[in-house]
Every structure is written in C-alpha cells, then in structure tokens.
C-alpha cells in the first residue's frame, strides 16, 4: 500500500530534462535562494504535485563575453520537480531577449513557435529546456514568481463560479484569470493583471492553478502559502460537510486482509488489460482518501467529469475507469465486468480522439486507462515504469481533493473536454515524450528472485534491476533481502520479502506481496537452495526431505504461484531455474543435492511444455563451482566439498576453475548474465533450454 502523499523519487528522474553540466558563469546567491524555496514548496504535495508547477528568480550576473552586467532569469525547466530541483534542472535565460518577444508575438495560434523562440533567449548553455510556462515568469515584473498546482487553489479554479468565489475569499488581494491554455498569451494576461493591480499578490488561473509573485524569494514563498492556506481555510469554513454524498454501505471498504486478497486477484488482470497497447507497471493505493471517495454515492458522477487541471489529466488520462459493482461482488463476476468496461473505455477513448484530432495532431498514444477505481478495494494506477504509475495515482488523489473542495463550495466543473484534448495531444507535450530516455531491455518487467540474499540470487537481482526490471528480492533471511533491495534503489525499483520457499502459505503470501507492489509478475528466478554433501549411507531421511523441500518442492511452489499470476495476466512471462551441472553429472557424496537438481532440470522441460500456450517460457541455467559470495558454500557446503576433493576450502574456487576446459572461475555475475539473456527479447523463441555456465565441464555436456 502506498500513500498518496509520498514524494519518493528515483535519482534517475531527479535530473530529467537537464544537461550534465551547466555553464552560466558563477553561481549567484539568488540561485541558492530559488532552490531552497522550491524544495520547501515542493516537499508538500498539498502545495503542488510531482513535477508540477515552476518557480523563478531574476537577478543580474556578469556576461562572460562582454564583462557587462546582464539581467537573467533562472526558472525550473521542463520536466523538473520542485521538491528535488537541482541547478542543472533550471533554464537560464536573458530577460532582455524574453521581453523583446512581446514585440514579435504573432498571436495565440503560434504558441508553439514562441516556445521554440525561448531557445534563442538562453544564456550560455542555458541548462534545462525551457517550459511552456516560461513566459509567465519572464513577463511579470516581480523578481520572484511561483506557479503552483495546490489542491485548494485548483478547487477554486475548477468551481463553476470560481471567479465569484475567488473575489469572496481574497477580495482584491488575489485576482481571477479565466482559463487559457498555458503559453505566451497566458503570460501576457497574468503580467497585465499584475501591472493593473499593484496591490495584488497573485492570481487564481481558471481550470489550472495559482501564480504568486514577490520582490524577494521569502515574500514570494510567503504569498504562495498565503493563497493556498487562505483558500483551504475558506473551504473548511464555508464548504458542505459531505460534498461527495453519503456512504453507500455496499461500497464500504472491505476489511484489510480481504481487500488485499481481492486486489491481488484483480491486479494482474487489470495490468494485462491496461497493457493492451503498451506494457505497463502498476501501483496500488488503498489509502483512506481513496476508499472514502469510492464509498460515497456521488463518486461515479464525479469520475465521469474527468480530472482537474492540465498536469492531472496528462498523468491520469482524461478520466479513470471505475467498476460499477458493489465491493462484495464475487471476484470472477467483477473480473468479467472489468473486461467489459475496459472494452468500452477503449472505444470511448478512440471516439474522444476522433472527435478532436486534426491533421496536425500526434497519433493516439494508447486507449487503455491509466487509473482504475474499484469500490471497497482501492485504486490501481499504471505507467511505463513504477514511478510513473505511482505518480499517476498521487495525481488522482490530488484530483479527489480538488473535487472535494470544489463540490464543497460550488459545483466541480473542469475545463471542457476539447481543451483537455488540446493539452493531452499538444505538440509541446509530444516533445517532452521525445526527450525521455530510451527504455532499458527489461523495462516494464517485474522479476521475482528467490534466494536473493547472496551469491547468484543477489547478482541476478542486481543485473535485472540494472536492465530496467522492477525486482522483488525474496530470501529466507528477510534482513539480507531488505539490504539488497535498498542497495538497488527505492521501492519503485525493488522491494524485499522474507519467504521460506518450502512453505506453500509463505510462497503464496510472497507472490501476493509482489503483485501488490508492482501489479503482477513477469519473470521468476528459482534460485533458492541449500546443499548437503554426504554419501548414500550417511544421508538421512531428514537430509533427503530437507534438500528436496527447499529445491524440488520450493521451485514447484514458486512456479505454480507465478503461473497463477501470469496466466490471467495474459502478458506471457519467463521462469528461469538455477539448476546445476550436478543435474547431469554424477559427483561423489552428492546424492540428495544432485537428485533434487535433476528434479529441477526436468521441471524446466515439463513446465515449458505445459505453459507454452500461455507464452510463458521456461528455461534454466546449469552453473558449477560458484564459490564467491555464495551463501550455500559459506554455510558448510564449501568445507564439505573441499574435504571431498582434498583441497583447502579457500582454494576451492581455484580447484573448480582448474578442472574446466576454459580454466576460468565462474562468478555469480556470469550466471546472472545468462538469466538476463534467457529473459531478454533476443531469445524470445526459446523455451525448455538448459544453458551451462560452468567454464566447460565435458562430463556435464548436455546430450
């Protein structure tokens, strides 16, 4: 479960749209003030949503060419986030050039050309790409400007009588600017209001957000917060108590355990449906704000109106898909209805595109929902990676808060659908998409790796994450799994779970956790293992049962639970077994281990034959002598095998290497490489294969 207030951002996203190095002359103290102000404002999602809004500061600096003083503006660039803003994420522009654009502005129909003109106003290398909101910052004369998307402010902006409410709440201190698509003309409109009303501290932008200004950074921030807090106080004092209507008992939240079990049953199917046009990763939210909204009698009506401001529907699409059945509806009936609703949603979205698309519109990007709402269960959001999916959900929570405020005071009335389309399919938004980094090989894939706490499992989890996969690190030692996951990244990249793979209940619980974390599972690596080195007569029944429980039974249980996710998900998948050269090589004092490895090798063949019709590939890797970093070797197996071969334990890796054809030691990373290749697109037509990663052991050649 994730709260809608989280602001956890992977480092890879923090500098989106920025260059590696900005050369603009010496950094001024003004830049530091701007960054500190931005971080404070961006830390609270009630002030602005992730990557939404922008801040700026104007100051003079020395032109490195002429040595003269020049007026500059530093403003958050396209794609940056206020809460994590860095200097590299700022666009740096010359004010004289920006202001000169007023004289050549050809009109609103040429807005895209004006954004292109910003590139000719950059100072030095300029930093990040200027955003569409650059004009409002440049043309307002104040030295500091904040443009934000606070829930309380957008509640006024999307209320049917927003202008009258703004006047009643703020008087002449904060003024109203009617809806206009972001751009140069909106900047002119705001600047004109600021010039005509020197007593004003800011404006409410119809259908959009707020803008505030100030002579100093402190004054600007204080005014922004004054607008937000005054708006919220006005809603609290004057709004209706239950703007979403009364609670419908049939839509009340299910008990937590039942709710999560239902979510885990629905999520893979929803993910598969939402991946009809492009593969997606999911995020689940059952926070109180979501569950309460879905329990209310008016949620269906409000959902149909769509989301609030441009930043919202760019993340959430024009409107969510919502299940129109009671919370207690049997799962299979709910799934059938969701499939019907998905088909209808796609048809409606195509019709929406056809209604407003022109010859110059970008192609339709996909007709699947980004947000799916299920009363009693929660919200499922989707995106091309986990962070995008999570942020989409956070944006819809913003939209719920906006609807609550607008309905408390008036009637929620967002901008017309035609205007939403103009934003969603704006060429400038298309340019943002083109600036995104190319996806990695395993992007949108969710991997579940057992025995991930050390050795081959840890190396495999790291490799899969490095290739773009979201990774569930599963291990008997939950602390080791957690350490590995945190080393990979935040919860958008990897999560941990403790699991005994020999326990049917624990495996099912771990797989449910994986589904709730990322929406499903695409790649399973059966790596959990242990080993006992004894002769036949010394091997006890307990030894035999324990060895087979962890490896033969454990891999069966994990594969079965994975198949129960992958088959209804209908997105194909991969199951990779870490087997061993001992599956085919008869070594000394190795009965229990060797036989269970042979069992795993045949599971590969059997499951490949059974699951192929579902586009699920099943393959395996036969490593040998992987000593370094191995939990198995460190737990006693290394000492036992060294004794069998008559070598010192610390020389065991060298001994294994010496008996190979290539005379090379096999490391965990070599096995991880093989797993990646098996799961990649390059071997998309391969199943039932066992790949040796043993540096060449002739006796273990597959025949």
Domains of the chain (ranges; CATH) run 11-238 (3.40.225.10), 249-435 (3.40.225), 446-631+667-693 (3.40.50.720)
Q: Distance between CA atoms of 633 and 628, rounded to whole angstroms?
A: 8
What are the residue ranges of helices labelled H in 612-690?
631-632, 638-645, 652-658, 668-679
Location of structure tokens 């934003």? 423
In this prediction, residue 578 carries a pLDDT of 97
What DSSP assignment string belongs to 202-268? EEEETTTEEEEEESSHHHHHHHHHHHHHHHHHHHHHHS-S-TT-PBPGGGSPPPHHHHHHHHHHHHH
Q: Distance between CA atoms of 687 and 689, rounded to whole angstroms?
A: 5
Contact at 8 Å (CB) between 215 and 148?
A: no
| 583-608 average pLDDT score | 94
- pLDDT band per the 50, 70, 90 thresholds, residue 89: very high
- Does the pLDDT of residue 485 top 60, yes or no? yes
Range of lowest pLDDT (4-8, 185-189, 657-661): 4-8
- Does the pLDDT of residue 158 top 60, yes or no? yes
- Does the pLDDT of residue 13 top 50, yes or no? no
Q: Distance between CA atoms of 371 and 315, rounded to whole angstroms?
A: 9
Contact at 8 Å (CB) between 251 and 259?
A: no
Q: Distance between CA atoms of 629 and 626, rounded to whole angstroms?
A: 8
- Does the pLDDT of residue 12 top 50, yes or no? no
Radius of gyration of the chain, Cα coordinates, nearest whole angstrom: 29
Residue 46's closest CA among 394, 548, 528, 534?
394
Cβ-count burial of 485 within 10 angstroms (0-12 exposed, 13-18 middle, 19+ buried)?
buried
In this prediction, residue 542 carries a pLDDT of 96
Range of lowest pLDDT (73-82, 304-313, 542-551): 304-313
| 98-115 average pLDDT score | 91
Range of lowest pLDDT (311-315, 365-369, 600-604): 311-315
| 127-140 average pLDDT score | 93
| Tokens encoding 24 | 């603009």
- Does the pLDDT of residue 551 top 80, yes or no? yes
Contact at 8 Å (CB) between 212 and 142?
A: no
- Does the pLDDT of residue 19 top 60, yes or no? no
A 10 A CB-CB count for 568 gives 18
Range of lowest pLDDT (386-390, 492-496, 649-653, 659-663): 649-653
Considering 21-25, 529-533, 561-565, the range whose residues carry the highest mean pLDDT is 561-565
Location of structure tokens 């409606």? 348
Q: Which residues are catalytic?
A: 593
HSE-CB for 12 with a 13 A CA cutoff: 16
Contact at 8 Å (CB) between 384 and 439?
A: yes
In this prediction, residue 507 carries a pLDDT of 98
Residue 145: its H or E element: strand 144-148
Residue 453's closest CA among 634, 592, 576?
634
In this prediction, residue 643 carries a pLDDT of 85
Tell me the β-bridge partners of 159.
Answer: 412
| 311-324 average pLDDT score | 89
- pLDDT band per the 50, 70, 90 thresholds, residue 587: confident
Location of structure tokens 């020999």? 502
Q: What is the dihedral of CA 294, 296, 300, 306, to 10 degrees?
A: -70
In this prediction, residue 24 carries a pLDDT of 42
What are the residue ranges of helices labelled H in 519-553?
541-548
pLDDT digits (tens, 9 = 90+) for 250-282: 999 999 999 999 999 999 999 999 999 999 999
- Does the pLDDT of residue 680 top 60, yes or no? yes
What DSSP assignment string belongs to 555-577? HHHHHHHHHHHHHHHTS-EEEEE
Contact at 8 Å (CB) between 550 and 502?
A: yes
Q: Distance between CA atoms of 236 and 316, rounded to whole angstroms?
A: 27
Phi and psi angles of residue 619, each rounded to the nearest 5 degrees, phi first: -140, 175
pLDDT digits (tens, 9 = 90+) for 42-68: 999 889 888 889 999 999 999 888 999
Phi and psi angles of residue 625, each rounded to the nearest 5 degrees, phi first: 65, 35
Q: Distance between CA atoms of 540 and 591, rounded to whole angstroms?
A: 11
Q: Which residue has the higher pLDDT, 91 or 427?
A: 91
A 10 A CB-CB count for 691 gives 20
pLDDT digits (tens, 9 = 90+) for 223-240: 999 999 999 999 999 999
Residues of the chain with pLDDT > 70, as a percent, come to 96
Residue 285's closest CA among 472, 482, 81, 5?
5
Residue 344: its H or E element: helix 331-356
In this prediction, residue 307 carries a pLDDT of 86
- Does the pLDDT of residue 665 top 80, yes or no? yes
Contact at 8 Å (CB) between 498 and 473?
A: no
Q: Distance between CA atoms of 329 and 323, rounded to whole angstroms?
A: 10
Range of lowest pLDDT (365-374, 516-525, 584-593): 584-593
């Amino acid at each position: 479960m994730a709260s809608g207030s989280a602001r956890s951002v992977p480092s890879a996203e923090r500098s989106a749209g920025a260059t590696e190095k900005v050369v603009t002359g010496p950094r001024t103290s003004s830049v530091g003030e701007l960054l500190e102000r931005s971080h404070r404002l961006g830390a609270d999602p009630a002030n602005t949503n992730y990557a939404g809004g922008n801040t700026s500061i104007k100051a003079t600096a020395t032109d490195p060419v002429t040595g003269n003083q020049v007026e500059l503006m530093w403003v958050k660039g396209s794609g940056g986030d206020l809460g994590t803003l860095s200097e590299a994420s700022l666009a740096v522009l010359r004010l004289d050039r920006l202001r000169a654009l007023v004289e050549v502005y050809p009109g609103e129909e040429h807005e895209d050309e004006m954004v292109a003109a910003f590139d000719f106003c950059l100072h030095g290398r300029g930093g990040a790409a200027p955003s569409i909101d650059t004009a409002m910052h440049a043309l307002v004369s104040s030295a500091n400007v904040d443009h934000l998307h606070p829930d309380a402010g957008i509640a006024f902006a999307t209320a049917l009588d927003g202008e009258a409410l703004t006047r009643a709440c703020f008087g002449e201190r904060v003024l109203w600017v009617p809806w206009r698509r972001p751009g140069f003309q909106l900047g002119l409109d705001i600047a004109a209001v600021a010039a005509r009303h020197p007593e004003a501290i800011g404006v409410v932008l119809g259908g959009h957000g707020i803008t505030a200004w100030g002579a100093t950074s402190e004054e600007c921030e204080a005014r922004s917060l004054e607008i937000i807090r005054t708006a919220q106080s006005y809603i609290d004092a004057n709004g209706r108590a239950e703007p979403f209507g009364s609670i419908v008992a049939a839509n009340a939240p299910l008990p937590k355990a039942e709710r999560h079990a239902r979510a885990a049953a629905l999520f893979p199917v929803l993910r598969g449906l939402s991946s009809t046009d492009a593969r997606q990763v999911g995020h689940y939210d059952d926070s109180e704000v979501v569950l309460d909204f879905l329990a209310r009698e008016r949620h269906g009506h409000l959902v149909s109106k769509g989301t609030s401001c441009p930043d919202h529907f760019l993340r959430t699409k024009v409107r969510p898909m919502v299940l129109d059945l009671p919370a207690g509806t049997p799962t299979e009936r709910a799934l059938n209805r969701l499939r019907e609703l998905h088909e209808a949603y796609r048809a409606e979205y195509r019709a929406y595109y056809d209604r407003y698309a022109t010859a110059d519109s970008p192609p339709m990007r996909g007709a699947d929902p980004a947000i799916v709402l299920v009363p009693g269960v929660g919200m499922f959001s989707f995106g091309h990676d986990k962070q995008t999916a999570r942020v989409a959900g956070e944006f819809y929570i913003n939209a719920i808060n906006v609807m609550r405020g607008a309905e408390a005071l008036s009637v929620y009335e967002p901008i017309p659908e035609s205007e939403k389309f103009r934003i969603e399919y704006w060429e400038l938004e298309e340019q943002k998409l083109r600036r995104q980094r190319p996806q990695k090989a395993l992007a949108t894939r969710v991997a579940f790796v057992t025995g991930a706490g050390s050795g081959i499992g840890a190396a495999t989890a790291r490799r899969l994450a490095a290739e773009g996969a979201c990774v569930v690190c599963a291990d008997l030692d939950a602390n080791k799994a957690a350490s590995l996951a945190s080393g990979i990244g935040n919860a958008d990249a990897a999560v941990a779970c403790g699991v005994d793979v020999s326990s049917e209940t624990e495996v099912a619980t771990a797989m449910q956790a994986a589904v709730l974390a990322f929406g499903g599972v695409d790649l399973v690596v059966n790596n959990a293992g242990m080993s006992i080195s004894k002769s036949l007569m010394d091997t006890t029944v307990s030894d035999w049962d324990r060895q087979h429980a962890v490896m033969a039974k454990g891999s069966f249980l994990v594969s079965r639970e994975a198949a129960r996710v992958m088959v209804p998900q209908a997105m194909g998948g991969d199951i990779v077994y870490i087997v061993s050269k001992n599956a085919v090589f008869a070594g000394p004092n190795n009965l229990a281990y060797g036989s269970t490895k042979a069992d795993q090798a045949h599971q590969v063949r059997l499951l490949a034959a059974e699951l192929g019709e579902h586009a699920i590939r099943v393959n395996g890797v036969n490593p040998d002598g992987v000593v370094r970093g191995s939990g198995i070797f460190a737990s006693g197996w290394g000492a036992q095998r060294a004794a069998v071969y008559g070598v010192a334990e610390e020389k065991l890796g060298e001994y294994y290497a010496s008996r190979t054809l290539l005379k090379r030691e096999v490391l965990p990373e070599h096995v991880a490489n093989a797993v990646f290749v098996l799961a990649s697109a390059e071997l998309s037509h391969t199943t039932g294969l066992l790949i040796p990663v043993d540096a060449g052991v002739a006796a273990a050649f597959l025949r």
